[in-house]
Copies of this chain bind each other. A is one copy, B any other.
Amino acid sequence: MAKTFTINEPLDMHLHLRDNDMLRLVAPLTSKTFSGALVMPNLVPPVTTKEALLSYKNRILSACNGDNFIPFMTLFFQNNYSYEFLEDIKNEIIGIKLYPAGITTNSETGVSSMDIEVLRPTLEIMSRLGIPLCIHGETNGFVMDREKEFMPIYESLAIAFPDLKIIMEHITTKDAVELLDKYQNLFATVTLHHLLITLDDLAGGMLKPHLFCKPIAKTPIDRTALLNAALKAHPKLMFGSDSAPHPKHKKECCGCAAGVFTSPIALQVLVELFEKHNSLDNLNDFVSNNAKKIYNLNLKSKTINLVKEDFIVPNVYEYKEEKVVPMYSGETLSWSLEDN
């Protein structure tokens, strides 16, 4: 009989679900297998009001086919949120996502300065109300140095707001891994693809636009540091796929959009990866328990069984006019979802 593995309440703590037909295409590919996901607010326009947030949450839920799944909603950070507004919306959100302006897809209205004094009013309110801060931590410097250059900003924030939970989103460098152990209030998510690829996979052979993402995949040394932290289920590190669907035609063109689409293959590949490194005992912590503790989550029971049987990844997932190409498109994985 084929080997099996069980994940309880898998959580994806960094997810892009988009909207409209794309939402209807990708949401069920997460809600089927995950208990919950932290949903990014970088729609056009971004999610900055209670009305927009609740409306988006309803659209997500209606796209999820009644699955046992919780979309953990986030607000798009702005400098001018009032105490009253954040107190009122607090129970509807899991955190607030901060983007430096223009740093990635749909981040044009992000903050134009990371000056702590500019950010302080909102961050103090968040700290008092216990709302975590999720950050896309990149400067606008040279693409390979952007995350490393952001480290002093993470440090300043961690020192200035000791009661604020700060999540370094989709970390890609050894530097960020090391920072986790330096400040009690710094946490991080890491994607599946940053555990697997380096810049070599994007541009070392032929150019592979489907592996183009922000932050860009870094060096072998960085990947090793990320992988080691994930495999031992570092208690301050959570799985967050940053699965970011873009229409096929926007990935395979002259000005290709950044993002890797991993939702439908994330759990299978994680099991394969943790098995390969004899670390399956830590996978439930990495993909569920760490996030539950960091965010104090209560979830309904959900058990996902995987079986060691070949799974041929579809070339494309589609709904109406939307087509998205997943990572490992057309390749064969060694683990499948039990009921697939």
Which single residue of chain B is at the shortest CB-CB distance from A210? B254
Which single residue of chain B is at the shortest CB-CB distance from A105? B206
Interface string of A94-132 (1 = CB under 8 A from B): 000000000000000000000000000000000000000
Select one of B142, B203, B256, B257 contacting A143, CB under 8 A.
Answer: B203
A304 within 8 Å of B (CB atoms): no
A34 within 8 Å of B (CB atoms): no
B256 contacts A219, C-beta separation under 8 Å: no
Known: A252-B252, A252-B254, A253-B252. A142 touches B219 (CB 8 A): yes
The interface residues of chain B lying within 8 Å CB-to-CB of A199 are 142-144
Which single residue of chain B is at the shortest CB-CB distance from A254? B252
B204 contacts A143, C-beta separation under 8 Å: yes
Select one of B144, B208, B209 contacting A144, CB under 8 A.
Answer: B144
A198 contacts B254, C-beta separation under 8 Å: no
Which single residue of chain B is at the shortest CB-CB distance from A202? B203
Q: How many A residues touch the partner, as a band? A: 20 to 34
A200 within 8 Å of B (CB atoms): yes
A66 within 8 Å of B (CB atoms): no
B207 contacts A255, C-beta separation under 8 Å: yes
Known: A252-B253, A253-B252, A254-B252. A142 touches B207 (CB 8 A): no
A257 contacts B206, C-beta separation under 8 Å: yes
Select one of B198, B210, B256 contacting A206, CB under 8 A.
Answer: B256
Q: Which of A230-254 contact B (CB under 8 A)?
A: 252-254
The interface residues of chain B lying within 8 Å CB-to-CB of A204 are 142-143
The interface residues of chain B lying within 8 Å CB-to-CB of A252 are 252-254
A187 within 8 Å of B (CB atoms): no
Interface string of A123-156 (1 = CB under 8 A from B): 0000000000000000000111000000000000
A212 within 8 Å of B (CB atoms): yes
Which single residue of chain B is at the shortest CB-CB distance from A207? B256
* A interface with B by C-beta (< 8 Å): 142-144, 198-200, 202-210, 212, 216, 219-220, 252-258
| Given A142-B220, A207-B255, 4 further pairs, Cβ under 8 A | A143-B203, A144-B219, A202-B203, A252-B253
11 contacts between A and B (CB under 8 A): A142-B198, A142-B199, A142-B204, A143-B199, A143-B204, A202-B203, A203-B216, A206-B255, A207-B255, A210-B254, A252-B254
